[in-house]
Structure 1
């Protein structure tokens, strides 16, 4: 195995770990939120737009509002593949593969703009 193949294997291992850690962490947070909703059933309903305000969001987490934890887990689940795209950009740049850097950067721009559009609307 030459140095380039070893680097590619290392990047694939990093990407795999990112996806696994992100997915498992999101699942744990969502399950925690669901358990809160079962054990504390009389919580107020929170609109997702209300959680976009950071002070409200952190207050809801502090007071163990189930929906805030489920929202956090879902947000982490959405961010996990985006982080994978960022690592891919880094990997392609390290290999000086500028065509793939441009393509992957375009994918990241689409992901981020979709997220921003979803938050605004």
Structure 2
């Protein structure tokens, strides 16, 4: 297999993962919207909404519409992060150490921004 065919295969695999991530996140958001329309409320009293990941996960397990929609949005945000992680693997396979290093730094920055970020 020549190099161009291998690159195209990798690009197809990456695009497939991105498509799957978007489809899954959209499905989760739609489920949350359906729950919202069926129940008529967010699943939380008054103006309270979960702000921590553990509260969101707990609410999603309880099928609270707002929490389910939020999980879908989190999955949508994480989809491009998966693309960065896959890129590291691709560059490692190609033996491109410079791009492995650069992409790893980008992934670390993304992870730190998620951990330290406040909404």
* Shorter-chain TM-score tier: 0.7 to 0.9
Structure 1 Cα separation of the partners of residues 81 and 87 of structure 2: 10
Offset of residue 48 of structure 1: 3.0
Alignment of structure 1 residues 93-104 onto 2, 5 Å? 93-104=92-103
Relative to structure 2, which stretch is displaced further, 39-48 or 63-72?
A: 39-48
Structure 1 residue 44 corresponds to structure 2 residue 37: no
Q: Distance in 1 between matches of 2:85 and 2:60?
A: 28
What is the distance in 1 between the residues matched to 2:23 and 2:88?
Answer: 24
Change (3 A) 1:105 1:44: same
Q: Superposition pairs for residues 9-20 of structure 1, below 5 Å?
A: 9-20=8-19
Deviations 1:38-83 (A, max 9, x none): 1101432552324x22xx4444223210011111101111111011
TM-score, normalization by structure 2 = 0.87
SS at match of 1:71: helix
Unaligned segments of structure 2, at least 5 residues = none
Which has the higher mean CA deviation after the structures are superposed, 4-13 or 37-46? 37-46
Structure with greater proportional helix content: 1
Length-normalised TM-score, structure 1 = 0.85
Give structure 1 stretches of 5+ with no counterpart: none
For residues 8-41 of structure 1, the C-alpha deviation after alignment (integer angstroms, 9 at most, x for no partner) is: 1111011100110001111111111011111101
- Is the counterpart of residue 85 in structure 1 residue 84 in structure 2? yes
